């Protein structure tokens, strides 16, 4: 599974570059919870914000996966398990007090970065 979530994909890099340019600092490909074997793509540890940028194929993006999975009996169970795993990750993190943001790799990095930035700011303000 770890091999599937590849590090440093182009969409991730584009989002990270924009966040860096705005002065945000964060961890990359980091486990939000030490004892949970799930790695988020961008992690703001102090704000407890985990960001996932999900690959369209492996995480069954509704825009791109239907065409792929239609004729593939082999992939369907795998993709289904991935979806379940994503949902489980969301639940476990939320239970631990984390905020989870998920985006698709096909989304505009500009918009993704803006959404992440506004969430970080919201979490910062709600802290005091
Ligand atoms: Zn997609």
Estimate the crossing angle of helix 109-125 against helix 10-21, to 10 degrees. Answer: 50
Distance from Cα 110 to the centre of ligand 1, integer Å: 16
- Render each residue's pLDDT in the chain as its tens digit; 128 residues: 444 555 678 899 999 999 999 999 999 999 999 999 999 999 999 999 999 999 988 888 888 876 555 556 666 788 888 889 999 999 999 999 999 999 999 999 999 999 999 999 999 877 65
- Classify residue 52 by its DSSP letter: E
Torsions phi, psi of 20, nearest 5?
-60, -45
Q: Are 48 and 97 in contact (CB under 8 A)?
A: yes
Distance from Cα 126 to the centre of ligand 1, integer Å: 32
Distance from Cα 38 to the centre of ligand 1, integer Å: 22
User: What are the Cα distances from residue 38, in Å, to 50, 90, 117?
Assistant: 11, 10, 22
Global pTM?
A: 0.86
Distance from Cα 84 to the centre of ligand 1, integer Å: 18
Helix (H) or strand (E) holding 103, with range, is: strand 99-104
Distance from Cα 105 to the centre of ligand 1, integer Å: 6
């Amino acid at each position: 599974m770890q091999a599937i979530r590849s590090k440093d994909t182009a969409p991730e890099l584009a989002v990270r570059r924009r966040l860096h340019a705005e002065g945000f600092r964060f961890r990359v490909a980091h486990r939000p919870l030490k004892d949970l074997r799930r790695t988020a793509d961008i992690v703001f540890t102090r704000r407890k914000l985990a960001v996932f940028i999900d690959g369209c194929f492996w995480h069954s993006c509704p825009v791109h996966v239907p065409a792929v999975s239609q004729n593939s009996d082999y992939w369907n169970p795998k993709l289904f398990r991935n979806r379940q795993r994503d949902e489980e990750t969301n639940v476990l993190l939320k239970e631990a007090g984390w905020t989870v943001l998920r985006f698709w790799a096909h989304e505009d990095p500009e918009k993704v970065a803006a959404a992440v930035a506004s969430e970080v700011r919201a979490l910062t303000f709600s802290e005091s």
